[in-house]
Amino acid sequence: MAIELNRLVQKVEHKDISLVAGKEGISNRVNWVHMVESIEATEFLVGGEVAIVTGIGLRGKEGLTELVNQLYEKRIAGIIVNIGPYLDKIPDATIKFCDKVNLPLYVVPWKIHLAEIIRIFCYAITKDDQRNREVTAAFKNAILFPKQEELYVVPLSQKQFNVNWHYSVGVMRFDFSSGNRVSRLEELAESIDNRMRHRYSKFSVFSNDDEIILIMADMTIEEQHEFIDIVREGLNMLLIPEEKISIGVGRLTKSVRCLYKSYNQARAIQKLRMSGKINSENVFYSDLGIYRLLMGIDDLEIMREYYRCTIGPLVDYDKNNNTDYCFVLDKYLKNDGSVKDTAEELFVHRNTINYKLGKISQILNMDISSMNTRVELIIALTLKDILV
């Protein structure tokens, strides 16, 4: 991750630094600092740097204008120009260009020691990166080792994340057709952080295995919806057509100690969305109806036992005999027990449906015309979506 440019500049305000152009870009994220004294030196930039220029290697003001254009192409975060014997002022054309592309341009007088500014910037960037790593590690521990509170309660409290705030977790998984998944996930996580950091402060985002995890802290449900909408909007601009995204957001927790529950719910929702079991717009736990009730069961063995004792024999029968009875039963229940509607949806004769329903009743030893039995089977099929 990186630190916002305006936060860095605030640390050197006493160095007589002033902004002359590109005000709209001061929330750009900075990952390092480089002295750049020639066009050739820009080849070493990777994006996100603050470029510091004295003009010693340039052809005066015309050279500065050319350099600034090249720096913009390299997607740097901002520029600091040392006004003195090599550059006595910033050309109007350069100022207009930086304002147009929202590239922050600062100036400092020659009397200021640039080495001190670089030292302060590098220290701040390193400390911010360390903080982000520690926050990420603490949240991972809260998810993976919830009973070991010493691994996350104190570290998060020290980083201004109140233990008793309400938290919720978002899980995002992506279908990448090619390329390095790990580096792509890290790139997307950093893009989310860059997009959201100047609007929100109480969140954390990081990649973990094959997913990106979003931790939202001290937000109302309405704020969560707004947050996720902005994230999705930003991702839609970054993803290429071949890349698909699936998102799930767990419920608000009572404290950070319950973070793992929200994470497990988010993963379950994401899985249901990816498999097409729920509407693509159902992202939040609060949107899930009966799934919401079943996801609240902490003991997975209770769910597995219910599943085995109800729909389990039919699942096994389908697997061993290459039949589609679970599928037909699901359609029958979703059509409110109507044989006619089920037959029309599946484009088969009503007698075919009646025959299969008879076999299903025989295999399960249940009267599926009974309302109570149907409720049991609806719950069982819902559990099948969650567990399988």
Summary mean pLDDT of the chain: 89
Of 218-232, 297-311, 329-343, the one with minimum mean pLDDT is: 297-311
Residue 197 shares a structural domain with residue 271: yes
Asked if residue 93 is part of any domain, the answer here is yes
Q: Is residue 128 part of a domain?
A: no
pLDDT tens-digit readout, 153-173: 999 999 999 999 999 999 999
The residue-averaged pLDDT of 104-108 equals 97
- Which comes out higher in pLDDT, residue 337 or 299? 337
Tell whether 144 is covered by a domain. Answer: no
Mean pLDDT score, 357-376 = 90
Please say which residue of 91, 121, 151 terminates a domain: 121
58 and 88 in contact (C-beta within 8 Å)?
A: no
| pLDDT tens, position by position, 44-75 | 998 899 999 999 988 777 789 899 999 999 99
Q: What is the DSSP letter of 172?
A: E
Please name which of 54, 50, 257, 285 lies closest in space to residue 141, comparing C-alpha atoms: 257
pLDDT value at 112 more than 90: yes
- The reply to whether 54 and 116 lie within a common domain is yes
Domain boundary at 249, 267, 292, which?
Answer: 292
Q: Are residues 242 and 319 in the same domain?
A: no
Q: How many CB atoms lie within 10 A of CB 320?
A: 8
Is residue 356 in a domain? yes
What's the CATH code of the domain at 346?
1.10.10.2840
Has residue 244 got a pLDDT over 70?
yes
pLDDT-based confidence at residue 177 (cuts at 50, 70, 90) = low
Q: Percent of the chain beyond pLDDT 70?
A: 95
Is residue 326 within 8 A of residue 318, CB to CB? The reply is: yes
In a domain? residue 379:
yes
Mean pLDDT of the region 175-197: 82
343 burial (CB, 10 Å; 0-12 / 13-18 / 19+) is: buried
**In this structure, is residue 141 part of a structural domain?**
no
**Per-residue model confidence (pLDDT) at position 223:** 92
**What's the whole-number mean pLDDT along residues 243-258?**
90
Residues 247 and 320 reside in one and the same domain? no
Domain that holds residue 257: 162-292
Which one has a higher pLDDT value, 184 or 81? 81
SS3 category, 79: strand
Per-residue pLDDT tens digits for 255-297: 999 999 999 889 888 888 777 777 666 788 777 777 666 666 6
Residue 208, both tokens: 């973990």
Residues 288 and 308 in one domain: no
| Confidence at residue 299, expressed as pLDDT on a 0 to 100 scale | 65
Q: Which of 274, 292, 310 is the last residue of a domain?
A: 292
Number of domains in the chain: 3
Poorest-pLDDT segment among 87-101, 179-193, 280-294:
280-294
- Residue found by looking up tokens 């049991």 in the block: 376
pLDDT at 3 (0 to 100): 85
CATH number at residue 188: 3.30.70.270
Query: Do 96 and 169 sit in the same domain of this protein?
Result: no
Same domain flag for 15 and 93: yes
Per-residue pLDDT reduced to its tens digit, 280-291: 667 887 777 776
What's residue 284's pLDDT?
Answer: 83
Mean pLDDT of all residues in 238-266: 89
Tens-digit pLDDT profile for residues 2-42: 788 998 999 999 999 999 999 999 988 899 999 999 999 99
**pLDDT at site 19:** 97
pLDDT at 296: 65
In a domain, 112, yes or no: yes
CATH number of the domain residue 35 falls in:
3.40.1390.20
pLDDT of residue 381: 84
Same domain, 201 and 245: yes
Q: 187 or 364: whose pLDDT is higher?
A: 364
Say whether both 256 and 340 belong to one domain: no
> Within a domain: residue 136?
no
Residue pair 197/204 in contact (Cβ under 8 Å)? The answer is no
Together in a domain, 173 and 288 = yes
Residues 174 and 284 in one domain: yes
pTM exceeds 0.75 for this model: no
Residue 240 has a pLDDT of 81
Same domain, 275 and 305: no
Cβ distance 56 to 26 under 8 Å?
no
Residue with the larger pLDDT of the pair 219 and 300: 219
